[in-house]
A and B are shown apart, each in its own frame.
Chain A
């Protein structure tokens, strides 16, 4: 007599054979599209909220600067330009590395990743110091004409437009973009949480404390793509904020507009510690003792 386990394994094997003839085996674009759409909807909801805070005038500025690329949340006017070269959507995920955005761009225009990166670099403002990482706000962008340079400029100018809309002085642009990219990873959602984390990071910088956060190191080691062994985390890199003071040398991925808004307009408080609960919400603490107690309360090792 066969055991239930063996028979179920057989059934699983039968099912596994059927996979090859399923539509999913050859084509999963529907999954990709649904995921992209769902993510973009969340992003644009945040963007709309952020813009509402920034005021109607800012909306005007931001939109003017993003032509001919228009975030999907904004209704696209009937095409006035008959000289449309391509018609495609570039979807920029949150916390995305710039090379993958370049890949998307390259695919649309039929160029190489390096050429797409070059186009992005030449679209950058001086403050970016030639590194396009983090200088693109996440969201869906509709390409409805122009060459790759125009598209790259529009991608980047959405960021610069927002920085202007949020009244960030130009000499603080870089810090704000770096900060936003970190906030995005440390507190992916929640305007209050993000503004709180922004304040913690700024307070630590002001006091000359080490930032002691994982995300820049994870970015540098590409921990999202590779498995890093325990001793692999002890590397000497300027992205190691347990070792080096100050912000990491570059942004660590794309941010949402909400994160950018939080970096530009942090909450008020004297917190120096934060901790992310399992549900994603962030707790803020002023003293190390409170922080320790918080860890204990959440059942985290301290």
Chain B
């Protein structure tokens, strides 16, 4: 079933920016985001999972980005740090733009202080408005674990005194069996 090079091509053309942006929120650096997306693409297409259609490929790659990010976090300590991962440089670039951008930069700097698992949980929770159960499924973790990571992450963000509304997104829990 391989038209995978065609799917890959279309995926990068149409969804490249979105996937890259997601990886960028997680890593806070363009270089690290690029490595992450590349790693995720290889993981996805190597196993043939990406070759069905662009939507499922998108979903798989996005999931692979999160898991590659978490895996990468385990190895990060032995890797040399990238200079531009330093949030200060991001701040310099954007400091003189609008107030909003400043808040985003603050949040990004704050996110970068979270350990990878907490960061992934917090990003999925806020950015994608994902319910805890979905995050658990996405990351292959237990629901309770995700709750703890999310709560710890948010608690830490709160201590940083950001000018950000950290109210959790309101998600309705759909009980199993009533889904269809």
Contact = CB atoms under 8 A, between A and B. Distances in A.
Query: Chain A's interface: helix, strand, loop or mixed, by majority?
Result: helix
Contacts of B18: 12, 16
A1 B165 contact: yes
22 contacts: A2-B165, A4-B157, A4-B165, A5-B126, A7-B104, A8-B123, A10-B100, A10-B104, A11-B25, A11-B108, A15-B23, A15-B25, A16-B17, A18-B24, A19-B20, A22-B33, A35-B41, A35-B42, A35-B45, A94-B2, A94-B48, A188-B48
Given A5-B129, A5-B169, A11-B25, A24 B164 contact: no
Nearest to B27: A15
Contacts of A218: 1
Interface in B3-47: 3-5, 8-9, 12, 16-18, 20-25, 30, 33-34, 37-38, 41-42, 45-46
Given A24-B16, A95-B2, A19 B21 contact: yes
A13 interface: yes
Interface in A165-211: 185, 188
Nearest to B101: A10
A14 interface: yes
A9 B25 CA distance: 9
Contacts of B101: 10
Given A15-B25, A224-B1, A227-B53, A28 B8 contact: yes
B76 interface: no
Given A19-B20, A97-B3, 5 more contacts: A5-B127, A22-B34, A24-B37, A95-B48, A224-B2
Interface string A22-63: 111100101110110011000000000000000000000000
Interface of A: 1-5, 7-25, 28, 30-32, 34-35, 38-39, 93-97, 100, 185, 188, 218, 224-227, 253
A12 B21 contact: yes
Interface residues of B, number: 47
Query: Chain B's interface: helix, strand, loop or mixed, by majority?
Result: helix
A16 B34 contact: no
A278 B155 CA distance: 37
Given A2-B103, A7-B107, A100-B3, A13 B21 contact: yes
B21 A15 contact: yes
B46 A2 contact: no
Nearest to B94: A14
Contacts of B46: 34-35, 38-39
Nearest to B17: A16
B173 to A, nearest CB: 19
Contacts of B108: 11
B71 interface: no
Given A9-B127, A14-B24, A22 B2 contact: no
